[in-house]
Amino acid sequence: KHHSSNLRLFQRPPFFFMSSETKQILTTDGIPLEVSLKKAERKNKIKAFLLVAPLLLFLIITYVFPIGEMFTRSVDDKMITNMLPKTFKEMETWDGKELPSEEVFAAFYKDFKVLVEKQEQGKLGQRLNKEKNGFNSITKKLLRQIKRNKIDENQSIKEQIMKIHKRWRNVEYWQAIKRTAPPYTIAKYLKGMDMYIDADGGITQVDEDRRIHRILWLRTLEIALLVTIFCFLMGYPIAHLLATLPMKYSNLLMICVLLPFWTSLLVRTASWMILLQQQGLVNDFFVLIGLVADNNRPEMMYNKVGTYVAMTQILLPFMVLPLYSVMKTISPSLMRAGKSLGGTPFVAFWKVYFPLTIPGIGAGCLLVFILAIGYYITPALVGGASGTLISNQIAYHMKTTLDWSFASAMGLMLLSGVLVIYWIYNKLVGVDNIKLG
């Protein structure tokens, strides 16, 4: 019986064998082993791709498409090109230095009349008004003249339009129309840096009293950096205390750290508005301890002070949690070893403990900075005019002026700035050194 089982075992065909003709290793199906392995590897890759396909599709729909739409909207200027096709065709031979010819005026009148019939002249006036103030009013006057049939097409269109309003005799308004001729433009990005394209096609800075966006960019970076520093200075000792206390106490304190996450951001911001106002609890406490006089209470609302205080308190947990998760993995015996080798507690902390927490510091600082640079609810409520950030300007153009192309351009500039900062951080510190525990 044992002999027969061994015989059957030797009679089974092997999984692969050597072909005598081609000198290749073949499988039992007669397929070369190399081809079979490649086919199996291809199947594994397809299975792996199908597993991550839903996540990839989600990222494309929620991240790639919106950013692509923002970029397209920020450079798209085809609306005026489609509204004034005859005007731009006649403007091709216009040098832009003096008033355009009769042909340009006549072409503009024909294009505008078509828009009146479609009831789209309002969009033209609003768009041109963003290029140069005053366009909205003069297009409305031209609309009234057309509806009253006051313009005689058999006479000079140029003379009749210039009589409607004196601004039609100003060459700068026609230059503004010509600047909108290209279907794609970087004018919105230049506007975000307080620059514009002049009549000669060059890039020029706006007047000094109108340079507001550069101030907002610098203020945004300043507030985000200082809030990150404040969170680090306050969060490091808190995280160290949580990591070194016994578990029953550290868990209780961790609940206190996580408690703000269970409260609405709007409620927390409104609470700071109550606390920081001149008749609020903070000022009452300062008066009670004699730090300030009752008639000289400091203003901590609607300025940078309120922005710093509220944003630091709101973003502090995002600094504490990465630091705590890294500090918890550091063995307490390392500090004892440093002290046993002759180092003072400060030297042992600075030479041994602090370098081990750098990955947590990097993760916490980067997380807080990125969140702070895009904040707009808290600065809008407690910041006032001096605490407004670039994100508030983006929200303003999205909801009030409805200049979505400009808001998209500033949004992409903000995103690009964050990516540049991330790249610099990677070069100086290294993303590999970031750890969340």
pLDDT score at 284 = 87
DSSP-assigned letter for residue 14:
P
The model carries a pTM of 0.75
Averaged confidence pLDDT in the chain: 83
16 SS3 class: strand
* pLDDT level of residue 171 (50, 70, 90 thresholds): confident
- For 150-213, give the DSSP string: ---TTS-HHHHHHHH-GGGG-HHHHHHHHHT-SSB--HHHHHHTTEEE-TTS-EEEPPGGG--H
Nearest CA to 219 among 377, 391, 364?
Answer: 391
Angle between helices 213-244 and 304-327 (to 10 degrees): 40
Residue 401 contacts residue 381 (beta carbons within 8 Å): no
Report the SS3 class of residue 344.
coil
pLDDT of 24-80, one tens digit each?
Answer: 666 666 677 777 788 888 888 898 888 989 988 998 998 888 888 888 888 887 888
Averaged over 176-191, what is the pLDDT?
84
- The pair of structure tokens assigned to 196 is 């514009």
Report residue 411 as tokens.
């949004």
Q: How far is CA 339 from CA 245, 348, 353, in A?
A: 20, 6, 12
**Between residues 201 and 177, the one the model is more confident about:** 177
Q: Which residue has the higher pLDDT, 13 or 430?
A: 430
Cα diameter, the chain: 119
List Cβ neighbours of 12 (8 Å cut-off, separation of 6 or more).
none
Distance CA 139, CA 230 (A): 53
Q: What is the pLDDT of residue 29?
A: 67
Amino acid 21: pLDDT = 52
Beta bridge partners of 32: 26
**Token pair 């991550």: residue:** 52
Q: Which residue has the tokens 């949004």?
A: 411
- For residues 56 and 65, the answer to whether their CB atoms sit within 8 Å is no
Residue 6 has a pLDDT of 46
**Whole-number pLDDT of residue 9:** 43
pLDDT at 214 over 50: yes
Unique residue bearing structure tokens 């489609």 = 82
Q: What is the pLDDT of residues 233-285, one digit of tens each?
A: 999 999 998 888 888 888 888 888 888 888 888 888 888 888 888 888 888 88
For 358-387, the pLDDT digits (tens) are 888 888 888 899 899 888 888 888 887 777
Among 1-10, 220-229, 250-259, 367-376, the range with the most confident prediction by mean pLDDT is 220-229
Residue 1: pLDDT band (50, 70, 90) is very low
Three-state secondary structure call for residue 193: coil
Quick one: which of 301, 254, 247, 241 has its CA closest to 274?
Answer: 301
Residue partners of 343: CB distance under 8 A and separation at least 6: 351, 352
